A and B are shown apart, each in its own frame.
Chain A
């Protein structure tokens, strides 16, 4: 019965019902450091991904669910986080005179986004709203592979496609026309650890980073999972043995 249910869950996830819009191209499927029961956050890669976010994506996309202090989980030291936060300005207040004031951000603050509100974001982006990226990997089916594919999915549109004003052609985006211009180019970022910033490297680092922002608990969850399952398997076996012993004399 349980096998039937597992099979059904598997089958239900095979269809493309969750793909928004029709004619979704088959995503590029990569192996990721965070895949599977023993998946881990590649911390070096995530740090580089944060740099890509900061220097490229943060121009339009917020990451508001991440607090500066969270960055210690991917390997930044407390001092680095403090210095990083201080580069940003937060509007705080009201003070005793009733005025709002500016101050440098602290590790306990959320990472501020580029725009004051949604209207400002839309006004700067031709009416389109660049979504917050904190949960993006969980908010799309096969999110990690989707994001990787999307970043590498820009093409010149085929002859028969008429691009609407301000749109770009991306073969993985539902409907194939996306309001985001191609965000990454070779060598766009100069990595602090000296890694060459190829398209491949930047997209992988970015996805590793965003996977962490979406599921910061993943490593702990996987570890607890292994231990819980081992415990449960052992104890189920023990109960099977106990059951047989108890039932042995039932005639």
Chain B
């Protein structure tokens, strides 16, 4: 079987000259081709590589957009229309970048969902998990600033709402906001610095991704059974098995991506962003992009400004503590009958929070947001720690090899 058939790396004269001085080829071979991976991974494991590809797509399209974009309040909107109308295939680059941001979040949310179900955050992969959260936070900052750049109505007013949140910080809040804005309201200085930071952060994300993967390669990948690798029989080399499998995932990813880019490029956006920013006219409903909606709902659920800000950040930062909140020895949700249903409820609740984030903050929507927010935090702080005491895990396979054989 595959255990013994990983070919040793053969380098030619040029490649071995380079490799002796900078071992890029042996390193890539070791960590990509030879990397021993559990053989029972499901397609739920493809989302990590898809996230990496989405990041590369965003960087490449972003750099080309930046060649034609003007980060000045008087010219930004016009420069984006110039890209759409005059730059050769500018409309394509722009739509790939805009849709690509949404696709990036789809894939990352699926990747996190995998982590939450299969206990990917548990010992010994806590550092992988932490860097994942750092990546998520950096992604959100990047996406937020990126959305401001076209300088449409939603760009401007979304920036106004979110930057104003920092004024909730006691004592220094107002000064911090003025400092962030570079003035007394969201204006040209804000736009200019958001552009600089939006260009910078993706490269920081690349660094975080490398650490994320290096940290993962210490213990190796988790797997759907939750049973760790015991012998070589449990594993197969990453190449060609997971390279080809990830290409299948990539195929489906690109089909959905292309469908939106070519046929529904504005479906995930907001029409108000095709109106140039006007500080004197406030849109009827200020909504962030869909991937922020659950957190926006949590923010608005709390009646107090500072309370809302704290709750919103806490809803993400709580993920850091997850390895200690859920200390069950059983990693995989497949063998945790009580946990499984609470997990489904959590996902449904998160989607409901997303829906509520797009509704006006009135009446039943507020009540529903509060209930959903309470459940969100209760899941981490109360439900997960309690489940461990009462749950009897189902019998697990003795090894990955056994799990794989049972499924084939």
Contact = CB atoms under 8 A, between A and B. Distances in A.
A131 to B, nearest CB: 8
Contacts of B250: 239
Interface size range on A against B: 35 or more
Grouping DSSP codes into helix (H, G, I), strand (E, B) and loop, the A interface class, with mixed when no group exceeds half, is helix
B252 A2 contact: yes
Interface in B232-277: 236, 240-241, 244-245, 247-248, 250-252, 254-256, 258-259, 261-263, 265-268, 270-272, 274-275
A246 interface: yes
B351 interface: yes
A18 B405 CA distance: 51
A135 interface: yes
A179 B274 CA distance: 21
Contact of B251 (A17, A226, A236): A236
A247 B241 contact: yes
Given A12-B290, A225-B258, A243 B85 contact: no
B272 A138 contact: no
Contacts of A229: 255, 258-259, 262
A250 B241 contact: yes
B84 interface: yes
A222 B39 CA distance: 41
B1 interface: yes
Given A8-B351, A250-B39, A17 B85 contact: no
A143 B285 contact: no
A1 B112 CA distance: 13
A225 B244 contact: no
B267 A13 contact: yes
A9 B268 contact: yes
Given A12-B290, A17-B358, A18-B271, A239 B251 contact: yes
Interface string A127-144: 000010011001111010
A167 interface: no
Interface string B25-47: 00000000000000100000000
B262 A18 contact: no
A251 interface: yes
A13 B358 CA distance: 10
B117 interface: no
Interface in A134-183: 134-135, 138-141, 143, 174
A247 B39 CA distance: 10
B364 to A, nearest CB: 14
Nearest to A223: B262
Contacts of A138: 266, 271, 274
B355 interface: yes
A65 B81 contact: yes
B171 interface: no
Contacts of B91: 217, 221
A174 B241 contact: no
Nearest to A214: B274
Contact of B275 (A6, A139, A240): A139
A74 B310 CA distance: 54
Interface residues of B, number: 52
A174 B284 CA distance: 10
Given A141-B271, A143-B271, A225 B263 contact: yes
Contacts of A224: 92, 262
Contact of A243 (B248, B284, B359): B248
A174 B275 CA distance: 16
A12 B355 contact: yes
Interface in B76-131: 81, 84-85, 91-92, 95, 106, 110
Contact of A15 (B270, B271, B272, B359): B359
Contacts of B252: 2, 236
A243 B81 contact: no
A160 B290 CA distance: 39
A217 B84 contact: yes
Contact of B271 (A37, A140, A225): A140
B283 interface: yes
Contacts of B251: 232, 235-236, 239-240
Interface string A203-241: 000000000001011000110111011001101100110
Given A12-B290, A222-B262, A242-B244, A216 B85 contact: yes
Contact of A21 (B92, B245, B284): B284
Contacts of B366: none
Contact of A246 (B85, B241, B271): B241
A5 interface: yes
A20 interface: yes
Interface string A23-66: 00000000000000100000000000000000000000000010
Closest 9 CB pairs of A and B: A225-B262, A236-B251, A139-B274, A20-B284, A217-B91, A138-B274, A239-B247, A228-B258, A135-B274
Given A134-B81, A221-B91, A236-B254, 10 more contacts: A18-B271, A217-B84, A224-B262, A225-B258, A225-B262, A229-B255, A236-B252, A239-B247, A246-B244, A249-B1
20 contacts: A6-B256, A12-B358, A17-B358, A17-B359, A135-B274, A139-B271, A139-B275, A214-B274, A221-B92, A225-B261, A232-B251, A236-B251, A236-B255, A243-B244, A243-B247, A246-B241, A246-B244, A250-B1, A250-B39, A250-B404
Interface of B: 1-2, 39, 81, 84-85, 91-92, 95, 106, 110, 236, 240-241, 244-245, 247-248, 250-252, 254-256, 258-259, 261-263, 265-268, 270-272, 274-275, 283-285, 287, 290, 351, 354-355, 358-360, 404-405, 408
